Amino acid sequence: MNKNILEFSIFKPYSNRITHGITTKPMGSFDDKDKDFRTQSEKLPFTHTVFSNQIHGDDVIVVNKFPKEKLSGDSFIAYKKNIPLAIKVADCQGILIYDPVTEIIAAIHAGWKSLTKEIIKKTIHKMKKEFGANPKHLLVGISPSLGKCCAKFSDPKTELPEFMQPFVDNHMVNLLSASKKQITDTGIPENQIEIINECTKCNPNKYFSHRNGDKGRMAVFINLL
Ligand SMILES: [Zn+2]
């Protein structure tokens, strides 16, 4: 694949069953306000990709066919082949989940607001309830995102709920640890979570960062083959 697309090692043994990746800044932006599905997919290995209007919510949407209009939401599950899911990020975590047993995939836009609404936990619960996924089998990848070095909040004591307080250190918040906790709480073993631990704000040549003032977005994508 394109050298400007990062991949999770944890998914590599399944490269004949899924295609996935994270685009980096040299590939350009996937901010899609005025672009259609096809134009956006030109730089990805698909003809069409399910990009959505991301709203920092917590709905988990099952996509069973290619939508006619752009969906609104932050978490998507697909179980059919060739419905590529993509999340746009620039500091927020793009999280991909694959279950090699039930052959389902999920893509989550996990910004801090959605983390406060437990979007990761809700997604995994839906994979379990509707598709019979066993958390013990799930593999999770988390894209480069805002590190604890740069995730500064003005007043995290009031901005974040009680369950996120253990990840607060003065004004700084470890959002990756907060995500990891939501994932392991569902029963997914820690060694099945891969985090690309590079801060988007600290690596301006490689990643778009909202906090650096970038308008651009990276795409975090996954597709069942
Ligand atoms: Zn940083």
**Does pTM surpass 0.85?**
yes
Residues of the chain above pLDDT 90, percent = 85
149 CA distance to ligand 1 middle (Å): 4
86 CA distance to ligand 1 middle (Å): 24
CA-closest candidate to residue 89, choices 212, 207, 213 = 207
92 CA distance to ligand 1 middle (Å): 13
146 CA distance to ligand 1 middle (Å): 6
15 CA distance to ligand 1 middle (Å): 31
Q: What pLDDT digit, counting tens, does each position of 73-124 carry?
A: 999 999 999 999 999 999 999 999 999 999 999 999 999 999 999 999 999 9
H or E element at residue 169: strand 168-169
> Which residue ranges make up each domain of the chain?
5-147+192-224
CA distance 162 to 181: 14
148 CA distance to ligand 1 middle (Å): 7
Q: What pLDDT digit, counting tens, does each position of 175-186 carry?
A: 999 999 999 999
CA distance 50 to 59: 16
Half-sphere exposure of 224 (CA within 13 A, CB side): 20
Q: What pLDDT digit, counting tens, does each position of 153-176 carry?
A: 999 999 999 999 999 999 999 999
CA-closest candidate to residue 145, choices 195, 184, 85 = 195
Q: What pLDDT digit, counting tens, does each position of 28-83 carry?
A: 888 756 555 555 667 888 888 898 999 999 999 999 999 988 899 999 999 999 99
159's tokens: 């901005």
Q: Does domain 5-147+192-224 have CATH number 3.60.140.10?
A: yes
